[in-house]
Amino acid sequence: MGAEQSPKIVIVDDSPIRAAILKEGLREAGYTDVVHISEMQSLLARIYAFDPDIILIDLENPSRDVLEQMFQVSRAVRRPVAMFVDQSDAASIQASVDAGVSAYIVDGFRKERIRPVLDLCVSRFNAFAKLQDELDRTKSALEERKVIERAKGILMKLKGLTEDEAYVLLRSTAMREKKKIGEIAQSILTASELLK
């Protein structure tokens, strides 16, 4: 960043974990003046009070439309804010939309200075999405295991099978019907509910 002062950055994000991950990444890269806003009620007032150079907002946040009001010429606005995106930047727009984040810069802030911030933002958002994804998959794997255990129990009781035999039956049925073993187990659970 050379002799230039570290830009003031606002992160607008409902997710405190993602915001913390991003803030940490920015801090490591030398951006120290970073504020996270999660309260949407007085969003504009808080942004004006902090007077940032850059605003980062997640795309799942409906308050993105509120930010757009800042570009309007109005007495309430001290410094007009310009959207970072312009025609020459199709690739970075695509990358940030894919990652689920959008960036705004205040007029007068040099555009090339936003690049490293946005790149960092995109990589942290992607890292967070990957984590979230892994968590979701772990959760659903755990759920599936529970369902299979219960289905095995039902088969053992109704058909007098051992645990291994019950599992083999589930697996061979799944293969024959080209379904996941969890789906077969779930349908056994549903059927046994109905037949109660």
Partner 1 sequence: MSTPLHIGFIPLVDAAALIVAVDKGFATAEGLDVTLVREVSWSNVRDKLNIGLFDAAHLLAPVAIASSLGLGHVKVPIVAPFNLGLNGNAITVSPALHAAILSEVEGDPFDPMATAQALSRVVAARRRSGAEPLTFGMTFPFSTHNYQLRFWMAAGGVDPDEDVRLVVLPPPYMVDSLANGHVDAFCVGAPWNSVAVDLGVGHILHFVSEILARAAEKVLAIRQNWSEKNPQTVAALIRATHRAAEFIADPQNRAEAAHILAQPERIGVDADVIQRTLSGRLKILPDGTVRESERYWLVGTEGAARPEPVQAAWLYAQMVRWGQAAFSPDALRTAMAMFRPDLYDAAIGRPAQPASVFGDVGAFAGPAFDAGDIAGYLAAFKIGYRKS
Shortest distance, position 81 Cβ to partner 1, whole Å: 10
Question: Which token pair is 149?
Answer: 């255990």
- Cβ neighbours, 10 Å, residue 101: 25
Shortest distance, position 16 Cβ to partner 1, whole Å: 19
DSSP letter, residue 60: T
Question: Which token pair is 21?
Answer: 């991950």
Angle at the Cα of 90 from the Cα atoms of 113 and 126, rounded to 5 degrees: 75
Establish if 41 lies at the interface with partner 1 (CB under 8 A).
yes
Question: Which token pair is 193?
Answer: 């509910």
Contact yes or no for 103/111 (Cβ under 8 A): no
Shortest distance, position 7 Cβ to partner 1, whole Å: 22
Angle at the Cα of 112 from the Cα atoms of 106 and 117, rounded to 5 degrees: 75
Contact yes or no for 105/112 (Cβ under 8 A): no
Q: Which of 40/154 has CB closer to partner 1?
A: 40
Shortest distance, position 109 Cβ to partner 1, whole Å: 17
- Window 45-84: contact mask with partner 1 (x via CB under 8 A): --------------xxxxxxxxxxx-xxxxxx------x-
Among 24, 51, 86, 183, binds partner 1 (CB under 8 A): 86
Q: Rounded CA gap, 79 and 82, in Å?
A: 10
Q: Which of 1/83 has CB closer to partner 1?
A: 83
Establish if 94 lies at the interface with partner 1 (CB under 8 A).
yes
Q: Which of 26/67 has CB closer to partner 1?
A: 67
Q: Which residues bind partner 1 (CB under 8 A)?
A: 40-41, 44, 59-69, 71-76, 83, 85-87, 90, 93-94, 97, 102
